[in-house]
Every structure is written in C-alpha cells, then in structure tokens.
Structure 1
Amino acid sequence: MPHFSGIFIISESGEDFKMVSMPLTARIIYLRESRGLNRTRLSQLSGVSLRTLEDWEAGRRVPRDVYQIHAVAAALGMSIEDYLGL
C-alpha cells in the first residue's frame, strides 16, 4: 500500500520499494491538507496572500520569497527545509 514519507512516495511490491520524488506543488498541497487547513485558513495564519498560495499549489509560481516561505512553514509548524523537502 503506498504512503507518503517526507519528500518521497513509497510503494511496496513484495520486497521491492519504489521511491519517487514528490513535486513541490504536490508537497505543498499535501502538507496543508494533512494539517486540516484550507488555503484561506493557511493564508490567514501565515499572512501570505491567498492568490500567492493558489499560484504555488497550481505551479504557476515557485516559492522564492524567503519571508513568505518562512511564514507558511511556521504556520504549518515546520522548518523551511522540511517545508521545501531539503
């Protein structure tokens, strides 16, 4: 049964494991949803505009502003490195 582990999706097939890197857009959505937050609430908690969060999740923009990245990571209760999967 596949499950998420950090930046990887791990699926077990017998004794073999297949690891595939999770794209940043999927990671951002997964982290938000796994904490039971919608975009509006994450925007309120982080101070990052709803439009920016939508653009990040849709892949229209890449998170670049370290202050915004830090604010979202802090709102999710994690470090910037963990948020970005570094």
Structure 2
Amino acid sequence: MTSPASLAGDSGGATASVEEDAVLDSREDALPFCDSESYWIDFYSDASLTRWVGFKSCGCNETAHISGRQTAFAVTDFYSICR
C-alpha cells in the first residue's frame, strides 16, 4: 500500500519544474500571421500600467512583431480591420 508521504514525493517535483522552466526559456514559437488585422498592444508589469515591459504589433498581411514580455496587463493602442 502506498503511504501519503510517498504520494507527495519529496524529490523530483522541483527538478521537473526547473526542467520545464528551461524548456520555456529557450522555446521559440512561430510568430502569428496578422492576416486581416492591424493593431499595437503594449504590455506592462502590473495593473498600475506604469512599467512597460513589451509590445506586440500586427500590420495588414504581415507577421506579428513581438518584443519584451507579454503579460495580462495590456493596453491596445489601436486596432483596425484590414480592407
């Protein structure tokens, strides 16, 4: 029978997390194609929107441009549908 202590596991969890972080740090996802949208989104470190940390921009029928970090604290500066 398995004890609760062995289910919790006192090793391996931290190692898996470190390995996952390393994979995410070096991962390069394909940039999205903008197709029929044009926009600029600024990203900030927190809800106060005082420390800018990155942006994502799209132009009609182009590949997106992304710099810095993308966070949940975002402001869309402009958005339009391409014609």
The two structures have a TM-score, normalised by structure 1, of 0.24
Higher share in helix: 1
Tell me which of the two structures has the higher relative contact order, counting C-alpha pairs closer than 8 angstroms and 6 or more residues apart.
2
The two structures have a TM-score, normalised by structure 2, of 0.24
Higher share in strand: 2
